[in-house]
Every structure is written in structure tokens, then in C-alpha cells.
Amino acid sequence: MYKQIDTYVNKCVSLTKEELEYFHSLLQYKKVKKKSFLLRAGEKCDFEAYIITGCVRVYYIDENGFEVNLLFAVEDWWVSDLASFSQQQSARLFIETLEDCELLFIDYKSKEALFKKVPKFERLFRLMIQKAYETMVDRLISNISKSAPRRYQEFIKKYPTIPQRVPQHLIAAYLGVSPEFLSKIRTRLSKA
Amino acid sequence: MYKQIDTYVNKCVSLTKEELEYFHSLLQYKKVKKKSFLLRAGEKCDFEAYIITGCVRVYYIDENGFEVNLLFAVEDWWVSDLASFSQQQSARLFIETLEDCELLFIDYKSKEALFKKVPKFERLFRLMIQKAYETMVDRLISNISKSAPRRYQEFIKKYPTIPQRVPQHLIAAYLGVSPEFLSKIRTRLSKA
DNA sequence: CTCATTTCTTAATCTGGTTCAATGCTTTTA
DNA sequence: TAAAAGCATTGAACCAGATTAAGAAATGAG
């Protein structure tokens, strides 16, 4: 059950058996059915969740009622509304399972306790968020300076497994185009 | 000279006099003239720089040769190409002063030494990047789901001092619109 | 197996924003 | 203090992508 997350953690920091066991003791295991919400905007987000199996999307509903997908997360990723989690304020994001999932949750208090007891985890989470930040920068650049067909091609190159697991209109809502246009892009590309 | 950065640091973590002095010993003070490059794409970025006074822009040149501004940084901000800095690889970003600046630099080795000797700084930098991440998420959402006039209005609301310090076409390249269109937006808004 | 729902496609029309080109206005620089 | 360079504005033509509408295909629940 913890084998996968241990491998993940081990890539960044090296831990003793005791530290690892303490870490495990703070995690809560849950199975969650497809199409469930881990979080809705307005609630307080008191978790970061590590995905053992399954697929999840994190999205935002804009002022016109459109969904914007921020992230498709699969095995070995973390999901949360970090702004809500870390400042203990109400969430702006929705987190919804797209498949049946197995997850490990850690709550705010436990995370702080973990940092206090094993400061190496502070480093782990710093590196995690640093990577997320860089991904976000790439995506902003991509959105500002590349055409939709380009963005789609880069998406399937970067996340080749996602299109098989996630409906196309959700990918459109990730790329920031209408589902109709994504459909056009695909037929265009398949002809060329 | 260190008063400002100490105030900054103190907002997140509390340090003893010795820790603070050690921190200072790792910083390098520099004055830099307007229109200088702190970093060019292709170089290795071996610094994070804290701005005491002045204004800096961080930008990217896309495949069509267009500049995309990622950040205008002023007093009390940090700038770096984090991907380059933390993975010691060559930079994709340019960092250019827009005004004469006073800066404090820290290099990679010093930062790692600092983390080792005073782990509290790991927390500080985690919180810093977490904030930068959230800002980036906001900007992506904004870019995907809001019109250019909207984005401009939010920009001047969020950074009211920037338009007085930075030429308009650079703001256009931050918002992701052409300078001509930003000009049109402005005349439209001033009439309404 | 069947009806309902969700998903995907195609086509016509419309619009926000780009591109190109011309003009006047400020800053630099020599 | 002039000449040059950079900056902002305006208008016309154009295009990427949105919107609307309708039907086809796939998936799922009873």
C-alpha cells in the first residue's frame, strides 16, 4: 500500500525506517468511486491527496460558468487546492475523480507536524511545488504564444496516456478551446 | 542595506541574530544600471536576486521571435530562472533591468549551504514559491477565460504602480496581446 | 436489450484580436 | 540641438477560434 508513495518520496529525500513509518501514520487511505468530488469550490480544502491508482481532474468554474481544467492527475501525482489548504481559506477549485481511485490523504495539521518532526519533508514539498510551478510557467507561455493545434500536439506528446482516459471535451477545457474546435483540429491533423 | 530583506524574511520565519548574520554573509550586493541583462537564455542561471530598489522584467522569446513577459518585479521581489537555477541547466529566460537597480544575489551553493545550516530557510523558500505558483495559476486562468480588456483592468488594479514604470508595449507582451490592440483597449476604456 | 445521456462531429456565421501600414510623439544619443 | 530611435495611436483587411445548431455515435443504467 505504501510502496508506491515511498518510491516517490525516496526520489527526493532519504529517510530512515522510523521517519517513513511516522509519515505513513499520518496518511489516510481511501477508495473513491468514479465521478465523486474530493473538493468543491466554497468548501475548505483540508487535504493533499496522493494518487495510488485512478485519474482525477482539478478545475475551476469561471465567471461565465465555463469549466477550465487546470490539471489531469494520475498515478503518482498529488492534488489539492493549495491556496485553500495552506491559508485555510475557502476553495476556488473543484476536484473530481474521473475513474475509481485509491488515494492517500494528509491533512494540514499532520503536514505541519511532519515538517516539525522531519524537516526533510519541507524540502520534499518545496521541490514538489517547484516542479508544479515550472509546469505552470510552461503552460502559461504555451497558452500565450502558441496556436491551439500546437498546444494540442504538445499535450498529447507530454501526456500520451491521458486522451485514452479522459473525454475529449475535457481536454478542450484544459487547452482553453471550445470542444467543437478541438474536434476540427483533430480531423485536420489526421488528414495531414 | 539588509533592513528591507530582513523585514521580508521575518514575515515568514523568525531567526536569531546569528542566523540572520550568516544569511547576510551569503548575499552579494550589486548596483546594476538600467537596461542591463542579469541573465540571457542559454546561460546558466546561478542566482536568485532580491530587489532592494528598481524594476526588472523576466521574459521569454517564443519560437516566432516574440517576447512574452512573465513578470515585472519591483522592490521586495525575487527574480531568477528557477528551472535553470535549481537543475543547474541552461536558462530559457531573459532577465533585464528596466531601471537602475540595487540587488542582493545568492548563488546555488550558498543557498544549499543555507538550507543545511538553517533549515528554516527551506520553509521560507517553500512559501515563496508556493505564492509564486498561486499567482501563476491565477494568471493562467485569467488568460484562458477572460477577455483582453478584462485582463488589462485586472492588471492595473493588481499592479497599479507598474504602468507608470513600464512602457505600454511591454505590458501588452505580459497580457498576451499586440501593442496595437492594447492601445485600442485603452482608448475604449477611457471613453466608457 | 433498449432508451437516455453523454460525447463527438460538421457546417454556417460571427467576433475578438492580429497584421500591416501610416503618422505623430517622445526619448536618447551624438 | 538635430537626427535617430523607440513608443503610442489609428484604420483597414484579415484570420483563428467562438458560437449556434443539428445530427451521429458511443456509453451506460435499468
Rounded CA-CA distance B57/A163 in Å is 37
Which residue, B54, B59, B48, is CA-closest to B104?
Answer: B48
Taking the CA atoms of residue B14, residue A108, residue A28 and residue A113 in that order, the dihedral angle to the nearest 10 degrees is 20
Per-residue pLDDT band at B191 (split at 50, 70, 90): confident
- Domains of chain B in start order, with CATH, are 3-118 (2.60.120.10)
CA A99 to C1' C3, in angstroms, rounded, equals: 25
Assess whether pLDDT exceeds 70 at residue A192.
no
What percentage of chain B has pLDDT greater than the value 90?
Answer: 96
Residues of chain A with Cβ-Cβ distance to B140 below 8 Å are: 70, 136, 139-140, 143
From edge to edge, which strands make up the β-sheet containing A37-39? Answer: A37-39, A93-97, A56-61, A67-73
CA A8 to C1' D24, in angstroms, rounded, equals: 45
Q: Tell me the pLDDT tens digit for each residue of A53-112.
A: 999 999 999 988 999 999 999 999 999 999 999 998 999 999 999 999 999 999 999 999
- CA–centroid distance for B157 within its chain: 18
SS3 (DSSP) at B189: helix
Predicted pLDDT of residue B192: 67
- CA–centroid distance for A86 within its chain: 16
Residues of chain B with Cβ-Cβ distance to A64 below 8 Å are: 145
| Contact between A82 and B145 using a beta-carbon 8 Å cutoff | no
Q: Tell me the pLDDT tens digit for each residue of A16-37.
A: 999 999 999 999 999 999 999 9
Q: Tell me the pLDDT tens digit for each residue of A145-164.
A: 999 999 999 999 999 999 99
DSSP per-residue codes, A121-159: HHHHHHHHHHHHHHHHHHHHHHHHHS-HHHHHHHHHHH-
Nearest nucleotide (C1') to alpha carbon of A150: D16
**CB contact B86 to A (< 8 Å):** yes
Q: Tell me the pLDDT tens digit for each residue of B21-34.
A: 999 999 999 999 99
Q: Residue B130: exposed, middle, or buried by beta-carbon count in 10 A (0-12, 13-18, 19+)?
A: buried
**CB contact A63 to B (< 8 Å):** yes
Rounded CA-CA distance B129/A87 in Å is 14
**CB contact B126 to A (< 8 Å):** yes
Residues of chain A with Cβ-Cβ distance to B133 below 8 Å are: 82, 129, 132-133, 136
For range B160-171, the mean pLDDT: 96
Q: What is the mean pLDDT of chain A?
A: 96
Q: For B172, which residue in chain A has the nearest alpha carbon?
A: A144
For range A167-186, the mean pLDDT: 98
Assess whether pLDDT exceeds 70 at residue B166.
yes
Which residue, A122, A87, A117, A124, is CA-closest to B121?
Answer: A122
Q: Return the DSSP state at A97.
A: E
For range B173-191, the mean pLDDT: 96
Predicted pLDDT of residue A191: 77
**CB contact B133 to A (< 8 Å):** yes
CA B149 to C1' D11, in angstroms, rounded, equals: 20
Task: Give the residue whose CA sits closest to C18 at C1'.
Answer: B178
Task: Identify which of B60, B70, B122 has the shortest CB distance to residue A126.
Answer: B122
User: CB-based contacts of B46: which residues, under 8 Å, 6+ apart?
Assistant: B85, B107, B108
Per-residue pLDDT band at B1 (split at 50, 70, 90): confident
SS (H, E, C) B37-62: EEECCCCECCCEEEEEECCEEEEEEC
For range B2-17, the mean pLDDT: 95
